[in-house]
Structure 1
């Protein structure tokens, strides 16, 4: 089993979402000691955003790209290959201003490629990144679960499903900014959710 852990927090050691993602991975590795793990920290391994130059490179035929264009496309190719090789994907996702971090959006823009991770047909789009289990550790300062203000879950469900990843489980840690007691309770609840999702 190949596990891909993607941390999207701007923080490193202080990131609750990354810690929870690691907790999920630890239980996966305990159950499958021979599994391989790749960790991508989007907050500190900065991927360039999708801009006009990147679009120009992507829409230029491979044999006509300049060296600079080829290098830019190769960056996205690496993320796509990493995703395709994974059997299990674990995402650590904090909420920033009601949405996902910009660095996670950059990753999404990089791996969403027509003809590679999805394709359009006369019956609608088909996701090509299939047969993968996805765990998403969500951390929020307030309480948003099952409310109209939770834009993250619908967005991630829509995108992941669009490229073929429909087996998605969300782990929630909410109320982290509502005082020490609320923070402790939220993290304990998240850990219980992880243990229920991945029993020993």
Structure 2
């Protein structure tokens, strides 16, 4: 049984969003004890020079201002650490993830925090977690050569140690919306709680 789910929504649509509908269904199916929700309709701030300086300053030497700059990033990292399963609503916009998802990713990809460099290469520090991508697209086929969204997210999640990644896809909605959504709903029913 899943204890804690982190639910990430990123569709710019509050109503009639296929990915929000899928994340609702997946989270309900998981029957978690706790659900942490982060809605990226409120896009995290883009990283900038002040953020980078704070991030690369050793934690015990950070000023109060630097700690404040990293506060949201620290919260996002804590949410990922707390979760057994991460459910990410991922619409494909122009063959890629939404800008808000990239801003979210940039807040948690932190050397020494979510990954570290070793002699064997990078090692993710968030192992033993599961991720489910709830994907929707108008014309992009998931796994096709023009799908730069799911391949990117699988790489990013794997980079921080989350290698158990599955996809529930309602893709190519512009071609066969009814069939695509039906297939996605059936995939949700196969998800083990």
Q: TM-score, normalised by structure 2?
A: 0.93
Structure 1 gap segments, 5+ residues each: none
Post-superposition CA distance 1:9-51 (Å, at most 9, x none) = 122122211110111000111xx5xx1111110113x311111
- Residue in structure 2 matching 1:120, options 111, 117, 120: 117
Q: Secondary structure at the match of 1:13?
A: coil
Q: Does residue 38 of the first structure (1) align with residue 36 of the second (2)?
A: yes
Structure 2 distance, partners of 1:36, 1:20, is 18
Equivalent residue, structure 1, for 2:18 = 16
Q: Deviations over 1:84-134 (max 9, x none)?
A: 000111000000111101111111111111111111001111111011111
1:116-160: CA deviation from partner (whole Å, max 9, x where unpaired): 111100111111101111111010001422321011122111111
State the partner residue of 1:67.
Answer: 64
State the alpha-carbon separation in 2 of the partners of residues 136 and 97 from structure 1: 17
With structure 1 as the length reference, what TM-score do the two structures score? 0.90
Structure 2 match to 1:25: 27
Offset, 1:80:
0.2
Q: Distance in 2 between matches of 1:127 and 1:86?
A: 15
Number of aligned pairs? 191
Match of 2:53 in 1: 56
1:134 pairs with 2:131: yes
Q: How does 1:147-186 map to 2 (within 5 A)?
A: 147-178=144-175, 182-186=176-180
**Which runs of 5 or more residues in structure 2 are unaligned?**
none
The alpha-carbon deviation at position 63 of structure 1 amounts to 4.6
Aligned to 2:90: 93
- The alpha-carbon deviation at position 62 of structure 1 amounts to 3.6
Cα 1:75–1:138 shift into 2, 3 Å: same
The Cα of 1:64 is off from its aligned counterpart by 4.3
Contact 2:143 2:150 in 1 (8 A): no
